[in-house]
Structure 1
Amino acid sequence: MTAPKVSSPKSLTGIDSCQLLTPPQLQTLGATAAPKTKKTPWGETECQWVNSDISVYVAPDTTQGKGLATVYGNSNTFSGFIPVQVAGYPAVSVNKQSRSCSVYVGSSDTQTFLVDFTRLGGQRADYQDPCGFAQTVAGAVLANLPAGK
């Protein structure tokens, strides 16, 4: 199984991971806590927002240079590997649980980002579908990205 190509690339290069979602988007999503950062396994900074209702984190990958091909190449390491589309971009939902889901989105053929969502206590209707909500967050990130190559 090979990763689909990205027809209208967007760039994650040079964007602070905590700026991938705007303050109004964070408010709408209910991610109202101050962001925290840490390093990803591939050496970039991920940003996480955690409050009593939800945990959302966004982790860009601009360093490995393989886009979704990296995720597809590791598909056997995930539970529930499901190819999807987010705002017209190729994506994969993985590791779906009753309260959490991760979505990898190919913003270009060489870049991707991960959105991980966990419902901690929130009762909003859209929190009840963790993969759907992670895709909503991913769509918001995509809306903020500039055109890429």
Structure 2
Amino acid sequence: MIVAGLAGCNSGSDNASSTGTSTTSASTSTGPPRLSPPVEKDPKRVRGLDPCQMLTPQQLAELTSPRVFGTAPSPWGEPACAWTSSNVIFDLSPYTKFNGLDGIYRAQSTVKKFQPMQLHGYPAVRTEETPQIRSCTATVGVADDQAFTVSFSGKKPEFTDACGYVEKIVGMVLQNLPPA
């Protein structure tokens, strides 16, 4: 099962600051103006990467040793990889077909909640909070035309801060991505 959709929450950690405002900057192409903030810190590449290789075995061990559950196309048609254990299920997927994070900004009317923020110095969005099922999703812009999405759901009551786990996974993935 691939965890699909966009969900979000606010964990209040030092690595996430919520801004409630949308930044608009001029587009350098002939397309519509950019709605999402630009990536100003060390642009990274996710295009063409295998999402099942975005975390190292050591990082997976730190995340309660989940095993690859499966791969499938994400709802937006890019590869997604899901991991599961007796405690957690989470998935990763590149988001490059719709101009990265800007595509999420353009689709904000289709989500229940839209919360722009920064995660580990990169622009990000959380879009729906579901604490009853201990789940959270964030999409992180790593280059102006590339992003990746992390969805997490804790299966046991001790995973009350699902967005804290998403932030942790985001930080791990960022360590492994090559420069854009």
Q: Shared topology, TM-score over 0.5?
A: yes
Higher helix share goes to which structure?
Answer: 1
Q: 2:71 — aligned with what?
A: 37
Structure 2 distance, partners of 1:130, 1:41, is 21
* Matched AA of 1:90: P
Structure 2 distance, partners of 1:40, 1:113, is 11
Q: How does 1:47-66 map to 2 (within 5 A)?
A: 47-64=81-98, 66=99
| Local SS of the residue matching 2:124 | strand
Cα offset, 1:122, TM superposition: 5.9
Contact conserved, 1:105 with 1:113, CA < 8 A, in 2?
Answer: yes
Please, which of 61, 75, 78 is the counterpart of residue 27 of structure 1?
A: 61
Q: Give the RMSD, CA atoms, in angstroms.
A: 1.4
* Matched AA of 2:127: V
Q: Deviations over 1:54-101 (max 9, x none)?
A: 11100112333x111110111122222111211100001121111101
Please, which of 118, 123, 140 is the counterpart of residue 172 of structure 2?
A: 140
Q: 1:95 — aligned with what?
A: 128
| Local SS of the residue matching 1:128 | coil
Residues 101, 5 of structure 1: alpha-carbon distance in 2 compared, 3 angstrom cutoff:
same
Pick which of 75-84 and 53-62 moved more.
75-84
Count of aligned residue pairs for this structure pair: 144
Larger Rg: 2
Query: Which ranges of 4 or more aligned residues in structure 1 deviate by more than 6 Å?
Result: none
Q: How does 1:108-119 map to 2 (within 5 A)?
A: 108-119=143-154
Structure 1 distance, partners of 2:157, 2:55, is 20
Q: Among the aligned pairs, what percent are the same residue?
A: 38
Contact conserved, 2:66 with 2:88, CA < 8 A, in 1?
Answer: no
Give the gaps of 5 or more residues in structure 2: 1-21, 23-34
Give the gaps of 5 or more residues in structure 1: none
Structure 2 distance, partners of 1:143, 1:122, is 29
Structure 2 distance, partners of 1:69, 1:13, is 15
Q: How does 1:64-79 map to 2 (within 5 A)?
A: 64=98, 66-79=99-112
* Matched AA of 2:107: N
* Matched AA of 2:146: Q
Query: TM-score of the superposition, structure 1-length normalised?
Result: 0.89
Q: 1:131 — aligned with what?
A: 163
